[in-house]
A and B are shown apart, each in its own frame.
Chain A
Amino acid sequence: MLKISLDKLGSLFDAIAEKEALYIPADKAGQPQYMRYQTGMQMTEALNTVRSAKDFFFPQTENLVNFKVSGKTIEIIDPRTEQEDFVVFGVRGCDVRSFSILDKVFLVDPIDTYYENRRKHGTIVSMACTRPSETCFCHTFGIDAAEPEGDAVCWKTEDALYIKANTEKGEALIEKIRPMLEESDDSAVEAQKAATREILGKLPLANFSTEKFGGDVLLKAFNSEKWASLSEACLGCGTCTFVCPTCQCYDIRDYDTGHGIQRFRCWDSCMYSDFTLMAGGQPRLTQKERFRQRFMHKLVYFPANNNGEYGCVGCGRCLSKCPISMNIVKVAKSLEGDL
């Protein structure tokens, strides 16, 4: 185990940022979000960012291709510039797991090269949780908040930051900052893990489970009469989908620049009235069907297609942020009796 004293954290960040782009969770106008590190920037004290870390690999909007029209010729222009190497520091266990869920969507045939490119150039340094919230249920999906996944993992104690590599990328990063780190035993880390796991066991959702869901109950879940009342108060906004680390639906549209076309993609939300709108019409006519899509996708369709893995990491953002406080936990608890 390697460690660095917390009062040297700033110089550690400076050292990483000197070699590659570094992003840390920091407060902007009172809200925690990932920001490109600049000397002096402090990490947020908040448990997690409002927006998840998926933006690094799957940004809210991006240009895919440009077309330039002149006379009878159309020039096709790839707008991508070379992707720089970057480090995302301080990612929580839930968000780290979300990357492997997104991988199952974007890195299967046909591989999404935009996403793949960013994944290749990004190094994830995770941060163990010490003060989980009542909305946390990552343990439901086998995630250990006390020892998250990631290329490298950190534990922050009162006076030091401990770091350990999990992958070659993580080792390469630690190699670059090795002179600043000192050897240490892991007693402080083990003590923190034990304390955090004890808290995790006391959380109100400690025993929450989604195991009744999956591909086997597709029709039962789909046809449940409860969707009507569950979705009744839904505003049809996109908050849950946009703060969600695993929501991955997008729309592709053309923007007419007057002298060509910019083809871009942007996050879409199944909660929106024009979600999957086609020439033939809208297959999900009311908010009930759109609402159902979101939860069926995470609890039934995704596990059906991915060996039982659910499309949720239990980060709790939708529990905190939904304007009407409707969320995957309430939906799962309400439906499980029917399955």
Chain B
Amino acid sequence: MQGMMINRAKELLRDGTVNRVLGWQAGEFVYDITPAVFETEEELDEGFVYNGFCGNNLSKYLVKETLKEGKILVFLKPCDTYSFNQLLTEHRIDREKVYVVGIPCEGKTSGEMLKSKGISGITGISEDGDNFIVDTVYGQTTIAKADALEERCKTCKSKKHVAYDELIGEDGEVLDSHRFDMVAKLEAMTPDERFAFWRGQLSKCIRCNACRNVCPACTCEQCVFDNPKSGIAQKAAADSFEENMFHIIRAFHVAGRCTDCGECSRVCPQNIPLHLLNRKFIKDIDELYGDYQAGAEVGTRAPLTNYTQDDVEPSIVYHREGK
């Protein structure tokens, strides 16, 4: 796959379709991949990589990249294409300046994920059918790919590309993902249990803002929390609940626009399952307004920004316990 992608990128650079390529660059340890812009065929040969560790969603970089001269080639995995469409809907990307090549994705893992399985001292990783063979300074170990998948990939919502100019490989289908199972579990808790769960998770937050900065739905030029003039700039937490509020407010802000790409949870240095807040909103929207997937199409009016006379009154629906 990587070879096909490099060859196609070279062709598109050569024939002038694009003047640069947005992809992933190899790192120091196999798993530490960095998003990068490649401008020449030599750069592609030197550093371009596509493997099971290329989890970064590249679509948000297009906000910045499409302001530059010329057209850029971007490789998007199925779930990244939802973010891409959502950004188009919000007029954050200039579609004319992007050439999208859809690429297949078998699910991603990460160095952190391998380490969470007790694998340390990683010096090399190779694939062998359904397994990863990991070389470490403590010896070789084998781990099933399915066990090493990131949480968001274990409940992958779609292998279908919803936006592309061309595809490499076969397109997939929207999947029945069971991605709301954990949300349903949280809903089934008592309010006290749920409060304890979220307090335990959110109080780990160090306010590094990685979740916000990586989020394709968070593209404000300047976030209110970064603006000293806003009166609510938050470099320091006034009390022990403030980080909790930040995440709750952020989830409200992206409600109906979040495509559930899962980048927030991937980047969280404290492994807070932030995506569950967003999924709660998605599940509620589905139940109250009918199934809706942000980013599935360009230009759709999302339930929360649309009004119809048939709209439900959420508080009444909840009062009737969903009936």
B319 part of interface (Cβ distance < 8 Å): no
Whole-angstrom distance between the alpha carbons of A51 and B271 in the complex?
Answer: 12
B161 part of interface (Cβ distance < 8 Å): no
Chain A, residue nearest B58 (CB): A233
How many inter-chain residue pairs (CB < 8 Å) link A and B? 129
Q: Which of B32, B37, B61, B228 contacts A277 (CB 8 A)?
A: B228
Contacts of B120 in A (CB 8 A): 47, 131, 133-134
B214 part of interface (Cβ distance < 8 Å): yes
**Contact of A131 with B121 in the complex, beta carbons under 8 Å:** yes
**Contact of A199 with B207 in the complex, beta carbons under 8 Å:** no
Q: How far is the CB of A245 from chain B (nearest CB, A)?
A: 13
Binds A, one of B7-15, B96-104, B180-188, B262-270: B262-270
B293 part of interface (Cβ distance < 8 Å): no
Binds B, one of A176-184, A234-242, A296-304: A234-242
Q: Which of B122, B228, B266 contacts A274 (CB 8 A)?
A: B228
A319 part of interface (Cβ distance < 8 Å): yes
For the residues of A in contact with B, the DSSP-based class is loop
B208 part of interface (Cβ distance < 8 Å): yes
Whole-angstrom distance between the alpha carbons of A239 and B121 in the complex?
Answer: 22
Whole-angstrom distance between the alpha carbons of A282 and B141 in the complex?
Answer: 50
A272 part of interface (Cβ distance < 8 Å): yes
Q: Which of A30, A60, A329 contacts B206 (CB 8 A)?
A: A60
Q: How far is the CB of A204 from chain B (nearest CB, A)?
A: 6
Binds B, one of A13-21, A110-118, A320-328: A320-328
B316 part of interface (Cβ distance < 8 Å): no
With contacts A320-B111, A330-B27 known, is A132 near B37, CB below 8 A? no
**Contact of B210 with A233 in the complex, beta carbons under 8 Å:** no
Contact with B along A240-266 (1 / 0, CB 8 A): 011100000001010100000000111
**Contact of A237 with B209 in the complex, beta carbons under 8 Å:** yes
**Contact of A31 with B270 in the complex, beta carbons under 8 Å:** yes
Whole-angstrom distance between the alpha carbons of A330 and B25 in the complex?
Answer: 12
Whole-angstrom distance between the alpha carbons of A277 and B228 in the complex?
Answer: 10
Contacts of A126 in B (CB 8 A): none
Whole-angstrom distance between the alpha carbons of A269 and B210 in the complex?
Answer: 12
Q: Which of B27, B121, B270 contacts A199 (CB 8 A)?
A: B121
Interface residues of B (CB under 8 A from A): 27-29, 31-37, 56, 61, 111-112, 115, 120-123, 136-138, 200-201, 204, 206-210, 212-214, 222, 226-228, 233, 235-238, 266-267, 269-271
Known: A199-B137, A243-B208, A243-B269. 11 other contacts (CB 8 A): A132-B121, A135-B29, A202-B137, A238-B208, A242-B206, A274-B233, A321-B269, A325-B33, A326-B34, A327-B32, A330-B27
